[in-house]
Amino acid sequence: MPAEPDSKQRLLATAGVSVHYGGVRANDEITLAVDGGEIVGLIGPNGAGKTTFVDAITGFTRYTGTVELGGTSLDDAGPHRRRRAGLARTWQAGELFGDLTVAENLIVAVEGGGVRGALTDVFGRRRRTDQAVWNALELVGLAELAEHRPDQLTLGQQKLVGVARAIVGATQVLLLDEPAAGLDTEESVAFGGELRRLAASGLGVLLIDHDMTLVLDVCDRVYVMDFGRIIATGTPAEVSADERVVAAYLGSAVTT
């Protein structure tokens, strides 16, 4: 299981995060917070800058502003450091390692590499697979497929492996970039249940998705983005009643 941070503790805090692509402000002063045990939604129409925000705070895109995890600044850390510090993300396209088995996809995220890892490989004993790997796989219900390669899995299963890979190790905050896209309704409902269990273990979750049923159903709080800035925030009920939100996003989503 992931390390258990205290519930209700401020885990992720961003302040004034901005991203510029040329002259375009893809993210404009995004300030949000995720507490332990909380599922926070980040929604908005296509092109609102949601994925850009995730890219920025995980260190894949340059930004201005500050990102803190558990009170420690991550602004000078590269993507892998942020991951090891406990800020983990998934990708829209899964992005699994095609040459590794499902279990190995997770093992990579928990074991240490580098020179020390190489010396252990050569001179040390064979390492046993971390129990956290099996726990994470069981959590997403894929323990049976541990020895399969990603290309033998359905798209939905691949996304779940991506989620499992993000929760192993010392993950404190999980950033899920459209994890439910590609899942059918049944899978999506089951996925919502898994998210709740994850949050109950003390993890903070930031959920980005188009599946409004899922977001409004599982989230404690929701931020709404449009044109790179946050236009509304509140409980699912408050947000879905907000006129600006309806105009920007929900209106069109409901009719489709």
Partner 1 sequence: MSDILQFAVLGFSTGAVYAVLGSSLVSIYVATGIINFAQGSLALWGVWQTAALQANGTLVLPIGSFKLTDGPTDTVPALLIGAASCLVWAVLAHFLVFRPLRRAPVLGQVVASVGMMLLLQALVTLRFDADTLGLDPTVLIPMPILPSDTFTLAGATIAVSNLILAGIAIAIAAGMWAYLRFTKMGTATRAGAEDERALRLLGYSPDRLAALVWGATGFVSGLIVVLAAPAIGGLDPTSYMFYVVPALSVALVGRLTSVGTVCAAGLALGALQQILLFGTTKDWWPSWAQAGVGDAIPFVIVVVALFALGRSIPERGSAGVGRLPRVSVPRLRPLPVAGAVAVAGLVIALTSGTWRFSLVMSAIFTLIAVSVVLLTGYLGQISLATMAFAGAAGFALSKLTTNAGVPFPFSLFLAAVVSTLLGVIVGVPALRIRGAQLAVATVAAALAIEAFVFNNPSLTPYSGALIKDPSLFGYSLAVREGTNIITLRFSYLVLAVVVLLLIAVARLFGGATGRAFLAVRSNERAASSAGVDVAATKLLGFAIASFLAGIGGGLIGYSSGQLSAASFTVLVGLTVLAMTYVGGITTITGAVIAGLAGPLGVLYLFLNQSLDLSKYYTLIAALGMLLRAVVFPPDGGPVQEWLAARLPRRTPALATGAGSVTAGSVTAGSVTAGSVTAGTAATSAGTAAASTATAPSAGTTDGVAASAASAASAASAASAASAASGGPADSESSADSDSVTAADAAPSIAARSADAR
Question: Can you give the binding site for partner 1, defined by CB under 8 A?
Answer: 55, 58-61, 78-80, 83-84, 88-89, 91, 93, 95-100, 103-105, 107-109, 111-115, 117-118, 120-122, 126-129, 133-134, 143-149, 151-154, 157, 165-166, 169
In angstroms, rounded to a whole number, what is the distance separating the alpha carbons of residues 15 and 27?
12
Give 134 or 227: the residue with its C-beta nearer to partner 1.
134
Residue 199: CB minimum distance to partner 1, A: 21
Place of tokens 């895109």: 61
Residue 134: CB minimum distance to partner 1, A: 5
Residue 246: CB minimum distance to partner 1, A: 32
Give 127 or 196: the residue with its C-beta nearer to partner 1.
127
Give 110 or 189: the residue with its C-beta nearer to partner 1.
110
Burial profile 53-71: b = 16 or more Cβ within 10 angstroms, e = fewer: bbbbbbbebebebebbbbe
Residue 170: CB minimum distance to partner 1, A: 9
Give 29 or 104: the residue with its C-beta nearer to partner 1.
104
Residue 117: CB minimum distance to partner 1, A: 4
Helix axes 102-110, 131-139, angle to 10 degrees: 130
Token pair listed for 17: 């995060």
Token pair listed for 195: 């998210």
In angstroms, rounded to a whole number, what is the distance separating the alpha carbons of residues 188 and 48?
23
DSSP string, 127-182: PPPPHHHHHHHHHTT-GGGTTS-GGGS-HHHHHHHHHHHHHSSS--EEEEESTTTT
